[in-house]
Structure 1
Amino acid sequence: MYRCIVIDDESLARERIVSFVNAHPGWIVVASCGEYSQAQAMLIHHKPDLCFMDINLVGGSGVELVKSLNQVLTCHWVFSTAHYEFAIKAFELNVADYLLKPFEDSRLVETLMKVEKLKAGESGSRKSILAVKSVGTVEFINVQDIIWVKGAANYVELHCKHKMLLHRETLTNLAYLLDPSKFLRVHRSSIVNIDHIQSLSSELGRFSLLHLTNGDEVKIGQGHKGALFESLGIDNPEEKGALPSQYENQTLSDVLS
C-alpha cells in the first residue's frame, strides 16, 4: 500500500484529492492539511511515498517546504497549483509531476501511475552489495554489515563493525539504495540499521541517543522520533509528557518488554 499526504490550503481542493487517492487501488492518504508548520510535522512523521503539495500555504511556501525536506525525506513530490510560473523551480527540485489547476481526474490517474512506476524502480534498485570506491581500489561490502551512516556534504561515512569507509554519495541518494524497513533516518545527517540498535538513553527526560552494537552513539533528531519508535514497535512516552525515570538508560529489550 502506497502512502500519500495532501497539502493544500483550499479545503475543497484538498478533499477532492484525498477522496480520489483513497478510492484508487493500492493507495491510502495518511494525513492532509493546509498549513506550513503542520505539513512539515506530518511529512517528517509519516514519511509518505507521495505528497501532493500546493504552492501557497498558510504560513509559508510549498516550494520552500519541499526544498527544506528534500535532504530529509525520500518522498515523491507533486505540485498541485494554479500558478504556472513556479514550474521551472519545481522541476529543479526533481518533482514527479506538476498539476496545473483546474485539472481532470485523468491527470491524477497519470500521476499515481507514474509514482507507482518510480517506486517499483526504486525497489528494483535496492542494493545487497555496495561498491565503495577508495584510492586505487573498489571494496565490496554487504549492506547488512553497515551499522550506521553519517552524511557529510557529497560523501557518507559507512560505519561497519571493525571499520569506517568513506563513500562518495549523498545521504539522500544512498537512502534510495537501502531497504527502508531496515535502514531508518534518525537525524538529518544519520541513517541507522535498526538491527544494530542496542539501547536508547535519555537526557533531561527526552530520548536523545541511540547506542549501537559497535559502541557508537548517534543522536536522535526530534522530527524523526515518531517514525523511529514506530519502527521499533514501542510507544513514544514523550507524547504524554516528560520521560518517566524508569526509561532512563534502558536497553532496547527493556523498553520493548
Structure 2
Amino acid sequence: MISVSRGARAGAPKWRSEYRCTEWEPRLVASNPRPLCALVVDDEAPARRRIADLLRDDRDIATVLTAEHGVAAIETIRQARPDIVFLDVQMPGLDGFGVVEAIGPEHMPLTVFVTAYDHFAIRAFEAEAVDYLLKPFSDRRYERTIERIKERLHDRRAPDPADANGFGPELLRLVAKRASPGEIWDWIAVKSRDTTRLLLTEEIDWIEAAGVYVTVHSKGEAFLYRAGLATVASRLDPFRFVRIHRSHLVNVRSIAFLERRSHGEFEVMLKSGARLMMSRTYRGEVEAILGQPL
C-alpha cells in the first residue's frame, strides 16, 4: 500500500500516481520555491509513522509518501520521483537492497537506510555518501541526518553541479553487492595440499604482494594465497582495507600508529609489531578512509 500526506501546507494538491513530486514543487509554498518530497519505506507501521511525523514537522518537506514494502517503494520512486527516501534495510520479500538494485544506484534519490542491526552496512553508511538511522534512533540523530541530506540537496541544485557533493552511486552499488553472498569476502580460503583453511578477513592484519600471488598475514602467521593483490583487494571490504603501497594492503583496524618520514611518506606500525612503509602515492586513499588528514 502507498499513502501520502500533504504535511502542514494548506491547499497542497493531492498526490496522484502519474504526478512527479518535482513537477508541482514550486506551487506548494511561496516562501520556499523548492520544497521537498520524501518517501518512507518500512514494513513496520510504528516505525513508518514515526519518521513520517518527523518529516511532516519540517517546513522544508512539502509532501510525505509512505510504502509498506519493497515493491510499493519501487513503484513510488519511479512514479513520484521523491527527493529523499528513508529505506528500511530488512523487509520481508523484497528488502532495501533489492529496491536499490531494481531502481539502479545511479537513479536512486538521496537515501537514508534504516536498520535495527549493526552489521556491515553501518560502516558503509558512516562514509557519509549516504546516511543511516539505527533503530531505535533519537530525535537528535534524525535531525543530524536531515541536515546532512538538505546540505547535499542544496549542493546538487547549485548553479554549477560540478561543485556539488556526490551522492555516491558507487557506494550504493557496494551496499547492494554486499547483499549477495560471496561478492565481498568475509573469509579467505587458503589451500594447502588437501587442507583448506578459512581466514576471517577481519582478523587479517595485512596482505603483501608475492610475485603473482599474495601473502596473507593474520595473527602472527603468514599464508600464501594464489591470486594477485589487485584481485584480492577488489573482493575485500573497502571500508576496512586500504592500499598503502603498491605491494601492501592493510586492515585499518590493525594500525597502531603512523610515523612521518621524508618526502611525504609514513611508516605504519601495526598492532602485531610489523612495520610497513606507506608511499605518498597512497596517502590520499588512507586519508579518505579515515575521513581526516594525516
State the TM-score bracket (shorter-chain normalisation).
Answer: 0.3 to 0.5
> Which protein shows a greater Rg?
2
Q: Report which structure shows greater RCO (CA 8 Å, sep ≥6).
A: 1
Give the TM-score normalised by the residue count of structure 2.
0.40
